[in-house]
Amino acid sequence: MEKLVISGPTPLKGEVEISGAKNAAVAILPATLLINGVCTINNIPNISDVRLLCTILEKMGAKIVWNTPNEITIDTRHINTTQAPLDLTSKFRASYYLIGAMLGRKGEIEVGMPGGCKLGARPIDQHIKGFELLGANVRTENGTIYAKANGLNGAPIYMDIVSVGATINVMLAAVLAKGTTIIDNAAKEPHIVDVANFLNTMGADIRGAGTDVIKINGVSELTGNKTYSVVPDQIEAGTFMLAAIASKGDLLIKNCITKHLESLTAKIVEIGGNVEDNGDSIRVWYSKRPNKAIIKTLPYPGFPTDLQPQMGVVLSTANGTSIINESIWESRFQYTEELNKMGAHITAQGKSAIFEGVDELFGAPVYSSDLRAGAALIIAGIAATGKTEVYNLEHIDRGYENIENKFRKIGANIERVSE
């Protein structure tokens, strides 16, 4: 078993390069199944979810060549099965995108129920509702999803809840359907726009991604023969922005789209942090103890739930009492128990948590419960006095490329150690 051993406190200083967006890449890879051709994807994050998806696609008949650690060429002309390897698909969340893509490509798929971070109930009823409105038949038996359609026909689909996954999945299924599909009450995250841009680059006809109404005019096929570059990861960028404040540092975060971070930037300024927005990079630095804040996570462009734990670290040593309301997930405060082991004073109750700011955190052995909780605990270890050991790194490696090297390059005293 591996752990990260961190000694603090260390103010993080210097420049950090942001990788391609995990939540775009894990949708774009399944989307290649819609292409009867070859395409190249660069700026792809080299994370375990991406490598796992490549393994799944190869087992389904795709040919993948890694041109560099962050660029692949994928040939999906010879997909030879409608069954995704059930033992692999339950290891992460994004396997559910195989349903929309394979319904579009082959009209059929058998795939295990998706796994992913334990954040409470993670139903997929809106995905299924969309597929059924397009004409598919979907049933779940013994943890396996069977979806089948004799041709898909475009339809108007109103999402009962704003859902990133359902919006992308229905978009995938609609791309090759006959006629026009309208997704209303769609999610607007930057990774949804990126998936739409990828598909349009390969020959699809999708308009309105990034707004709450997306229109997809079905086309007969996607031919590929193009190269696409994945959008920078706004959640990774935000993670380092909050690390700059939590560690009393000064960071220049490069290769990001600052427009995607407006809700976080506003909050950092509100609590007394300093921000210099250069469009494709952003400088964030600490000058005084953060003020207390009230945070409510919301779908984009609201404050992202995927930055909630990282903000929690900042608020645990802010001036006064802060509150976080987590409106997206039922259970995304497990990390607060770990921060309390480090001397924080947090009371989590259901979808809300109260942070009574303490003067400092102290190193301790802590356990990551999910991807972003893990990132938060790394930040806490860098800011805390003493030695911190972060366990359950498999969660972190799913979504952050070379995490300890990136932190070490900006001054962190951090080592990955095998127990």
How far apart CA 378 and CA 381 sit, in angstroms, is 5
DSSP 237: H
By CB under 6 A, tell whether 161 contacts ligand EPZ.
Answer: yes
How far apart CA 11 and CA 102 sit, in angstroms, is 48
By CB under 6 A, tell whether 122 contacts ligand EPZ.
Answer: yes
By CB under 6 A, tell whether 94 contacts ligand EPZ.
Answer: yes
Among 3, 93, 248, 395, binds ligand EPZ (CB under 6 A): 93
Among 236, 241, 307, smallest CA distance to 274 is for 241
For residue 215, CA distances in Å to 133, 181, 186, 225, 381 come to 15, 6, 10, 24, 46
Kindly state the smallest distance separating residue 373's Cβ from ligand EPZ, in Å: 9
By CB under 6 A, tell whether 124 contacts ligand EPZ.
Answer: yes
170: left (phi over 0), alpha (psi -120 to 50) or beta: alpha
DSSP 3-state of 163: coil
Among 28, 166, 264, 318, binds ligand EPZ (CB under 6 A): 166
Kindly state the smallest distance separating residue 328's Cβ from ligand EPZ, in Å: 5
Stretch that binds ligand EPZ, among 83-91, 102-110, 161-169, 261-269 (CB under 6 A): 161-169
Residue of 39, 54, 117, 256 with catalytic role: 117
By CB under 6 A, tell whether 265 contacts ligand EPZ.
Answer: no
By CB under 6 A, tell whether 310 contacts ligand EPZ.
Answer: no
Name which of 371 and 390 has its Cβ closer to ligand EPZ: 371
By CB under 6 A, tell whether 163 contacts ligand EPZ.
Answer: yes
DSSP labels for 349-381? ETTEEEEE--S--B--EEE--SHHHHHHHHHHH
Q: Is 117 a catalytic residue?
A: yes
Where does residue 313 rank: exposed (0-12), middle (13-18), buried (19+ CB within 10 A)? buried
Name which of 23 and 181 has its Cβ closer to ligand EPZ: 23
Stretch that binds ligand EPZ, among 118-126, 178-186, 206-214, 379-387 (CB under 6 A): 118-126
Name which of 131 and 285 has its Cβ closer to ligand EPZ: 131
Among 41, 36, 46, 145, smallest CA distance to 96 is for 145
Q: Hey, which residues between 169 and 198 contact ligand EPZ (CB under 6 A)?
A: 187
The answer to whether the beta carbons of residues 46 and 256 sit under 8 Å apart is: no
DSSP 3-state of 310: helix
Structure tokens at 55: 């393994």
Q: Hey, which residues between 18 and 57 contact ligand EPZ (CB under 6 A)?
A: 22-23, 26
Stretch that binds ligand EPZ, among 157-165, 254-262, 349-357, 379-387 (CB under 6 A): 157-165
Q: Which residues pair with 178 in a beta bridge?
A: 153
How far apart CA 309 and CA 10 sit, in angstroms, is 20
By CB under 6 A, tell whether 257 contacts ligand EPZ.
Answer: no
Q: Hey, which residues between 348 and 407 contact ligand EPZ (CB under 6 A)?
A: 371-372, 399
Single-letter amino acid, residue 293: A
Number of residues that bind ligand EPZ (CB under 6 A): 26
Kindly state the smallest distance separating residue 297's Cβ from ligand EPZ, in Å: 9
- Active-site residues, by number, are 117
List residues near ligand EPZ by CB under 6 A: 22-23, 26, 93-94, 117, 121-127, 161, 163-166, 187, 305-306, 328-329, 371-372, 399
